[in-house]
A and B are shown apart, each in its own frame.
Chain A
């Protein structure tokens, strides 16, 4: 600590160590938050449902998504990534997951939303399993913190059954 350089160096290293400690504590404090998000999705209409020339089934639908994800936000949350997936079982694969819609929620003020949309990403099955198929709509979210650990969770909502015939 005898010279300017040594004192500046000591301050920098100690200061950065403390900063790392503060960030770790901020990340730990996220565990005190017990979120209780709610979400509802309605399938309003099957716009069309057909077999592609290559043999895969594809469906297009109109969705009404409403969610309140405000409780996911803490002081250490940068943003929340949320996506809606159709999940179903086929004889070949026990768990098929197809993303239909996603979004990035930048702040708590935008976390209570309502959206009326057709599926953003194509609902295509690798095969011809969609006729009469019952699937679950699941809302997944990833909470991205400013520092530290990322949290992910999901909410499984009521299912829907696709029609027996192409249209």
Chain B
């Protein structure tokens, strides 16, 4: 029971893509689909084959799906580095509050 809850808590973090990976995935998806559409349309028009346009685009959609939908390792090269709890203890919050209060004092003067 305990093991299961631990697994569930950790699962989303493993499934998640990092921020830069998400941006890359979205841009790749749009550029790839648009390029395949352009190539498919031009090829279809030049060859006079509507079927060719659809085939090229369908192939492009499948390829784009394979590249951008699964969470590949290259989408996770910029992981978020959370501070270790011990680091937080070394730099406690009150320090910032002190600085803020000193600013207030200076503004009052």
| A and B found bound together | yes
A: residues with CB less than 8 A from B are: 1-4, 7-8, 10-11, 14-15, 18-19, 21-22, 25-26, 29, 74-76, 146
Among B34, B37, B57, B64, point to the contact of A11 (Cβ < 8 A).
Answer: B64
Query: How many pairs of residues, A versus B, come closer than 8 Å at their CB atoms?
Result: 64
Is A2 touching B16 in the complex (CB atoms < 8 A)?
yes
In the complex, what's the smallest C-beta–C-beta distance from B98 to chain A, in angstroms? 37
Could you tell me the distance between the alpha carbons of A7 and B70 in the complex, rounded to whole angstroms? 8
Could you tell me the distance between the alpha carbons of A20 and B58 in the complex, rounded to whole angstroms? 13
Task: Flag whether B65 is at the interface (Cβ < 8 A).
Answer: yes
Cβ < 8 Å to A, chain B residues 54-88: 57, 61, 64-65, 68-71
Among B22, B30, B41, B71, point to the contact of A4 (Cβ < 8 A).
Answer: B71
A26 neighbours in B (Cβ, 8 Å): 41, 44-45, 50, 53
List 22 A-B pairs, Cβ < 8 Å. A1-B17, A1-B25, A3-B15, A3-B16, A3-B17, A7-B69, A10-B29, A11-B29, A11-B61, A11-B64, A11-B69, A14-B33, A18-B34, A19-B37, A22-B40, A22-B41, A22-B53, A26-B44, A75-B44, A75-B47, A75-B49, A146-B50
Chain B binding surface, main DSSP class:
helix
Is A10 touching B26 in the complex (CB atoms < 8 A)?
yes
Is A2 touching B22 in the complex (CB atoms < 8 A)?
yes
Chain A binding surface, main DSSP class:
helix
Q: Which 6 A-B pairs have the closest CB atoms?
A: A1-B22, A75-B48, A18-B37, A7-B69, A1-B26, A15-B61
Residue interface bits B14-28, CB-to-A below 8 A is 1, else 0:
011100001101100
A29 neighbours in B (Cβ, 8 Å): 45
In the complex, what's the smallest C-beta–C-beta distance from B97 to chain A, in angstroms? 33
Is B41 touching A25 in the complex (CB atoms < 8 A)?
yes
Could you tell me the distance between the alpha carbons of A163 and B20 in the complex, rounded to whole angstroms? 85
Q: Interface size bucket, B side?
A: 20 to 34
Could you tell me the distance between the alpha carbons of A7 and B22 in the complex, rounded to whole angstroms? 9
Is A7 touching B57 in the complex (CB atoms < 8 A)?
no
A76 neighbours in B (Cβ, 8 Å): 50
Closest to A147 in B: B50
B53 neighbours in A (Cβ, 8 Å): 22, 26
A15 neighbours in B (Cβ, 8 Å): 33, 61, 64
Is B29 touching A4 in the complex (CB atoms < 8 A)?
no
Is A75 touching B70 in the complex (CB atoms < 8 A)?
no
Could you tell me the distance between the alpha carbons of A3 and B57 in the complex, rounded to whole angstroms? 25
A2-B17, A4-B69 given; A14·B22 CB < 8 A: no
